[in-house]
Copies of this chain bind each other. A is one copy, B any other.
């Protein structure tokens, strides 16, 4: 049994490890086109900001260690073709030489690439995306002597980098095409709070702005021309999203879903026999909506990889789907969400109702009590919990995991309202903000929708 894995980061290495454990006799080979395997890509902004010592610290397992565990890792080997009938792949080595390799089971763990708009393709120095360690090292090199950063994109990476670069002493302009930062993460009311945190930390945020061109001086970026005028800057980071790497899959006849990512069964099987897919390049199922989604996230990639690894090695595992949990921080604001926002629920045609509660993250009388805001969303009538958004001090927003746990089992809001959460003054109010919100939403979900029931 020869198991071949294309891509050696989260899903790929999880699959390799798990396959070897499932079937120690199996030959497991990982082809990684880059220089690193098994690194925490989610940690990249924090190396730049200084909260992680070095890029090397992000590497969880080296090729040597993997070889010690019986997994053959080949760096700087790019897989350029798949012959599904012959069960072979074409591999291009660093030298440029190509050869063919057989497989019994093949995993596509090719991840995503950062979107690079045409205007960013100038060849000038100082223009970056941030997806992998070499990207990070390049940004690091660009920062030497830089004074003024332009970040394009107000999603997770853009917001994390805004903090990182301010902490490095740069002035930061953040350009967002949409009407607000965090536009695809939160409801508008909560987007505004993220905006306020950026304001407070002197990030110059400009929304509704399209970048049209990069201006270059002496071979280096000197600014961007936008729909709102010229913005000067000596380092430019493009964080406008990611795109699943599916070209290899397509060349092998592997089906792509409506989301643009690779379509799989809950065993991570593609439509092509013996070819599996896992990680950021792959669709998952949202358990709240029961729809296929493409939400590239670190834990999801690792989970899918494990499932693929077990199944490829002859075991039986199923990926249960996700509920849409995400968490990040920018400056002193922690932001977490799970399930659906009110806006997302509306867009899906659900009859959803939300309540908002503002409280303190621990007893108001206890030192350093900080504000926390919670939105909870449920389905009217049934009372089924649909989602939550939480904003507060970073130490307080992991409360979202309670919501994720309830969403996973399609629970009702009542299941939260009555829970015996742990209380002491340094940890929460006697009625934790989640309980207050749940009680309020339990009532609200029983009321008819005024907008539709009123004449």
Residues on B with C-beta less than 8 A from A406 are 405
* Distance A297 CA – B10 CA, assembled complex (angstroms): 43
Q: Are A365 and B58 in contact (CB under 8 A)?
A: yes
Within 8 A of B (CB), among A384-427: 394-395, 397-402, 404-409, 411, 415-416, 418-427
**Given known contacts A395-B395, A426-B51, A430-B40, A325 and B421 CB-to-CB distance under 8 angstroms:** yes
Q: Is the CB of A420 within 8 A of B299?
A: yes
Q: Are B426 and A338 in touch, CB under 8 angstroms? A: no
Contact B53 A394 (CB under 8 A): no
| Top 6 A-B pairs, shortest CB-CB distance | A327-B422, A57-B365, A325-B422, A395-B395, A322-B420, A51-B367
User: Assembly of this chain: how many copies?
Assistant: 2
Asked whether A326 is an interface residue with its Cβ less than 8 Å from the other chain, the reply is yes
Q: How large is the interface on A (under 10, 10 to 19, 20 to 34, 35 or more residues)?
A: 35 or more
Q: A401's contact among B321, B329, B408, B421, by CB below 8 Å, is which?
A: B421
Residue from B321, B327, B334 in contact with A423 in the complex, judged by beta carbons closer than 8 Å: B327
Interface of A is mostly: mixed
Which of chain B's residues have a CB closer than 8 A to the CB of A328? Answer: 424
Greatest chain B CB density within 10 A among A302, A320, A419 is at A419
Q: Contacts of A337 on B, CB cut-off 8 Å?
A: 422
Report how far A10 CA is from B429 CA in the complex, Å. 13
How far is it, in angstroms, between the C-alpha of A432 and the C-alpha of B298 when the chains are bound? 12
- Which of B53, B326, B425 interacts with A42 by CB under 8 Å? B425
Q: Can you pick out 12 interface pairs between chain A and chain B where the beta carbons lie within 8 Å of each other? A: A42-B424, A53-B365, A323-B420, A325-B420, A329-B426, A394-B427, A398-B399, A398-B428, A401-B419, A404-B419, A405-B406, A408-B418
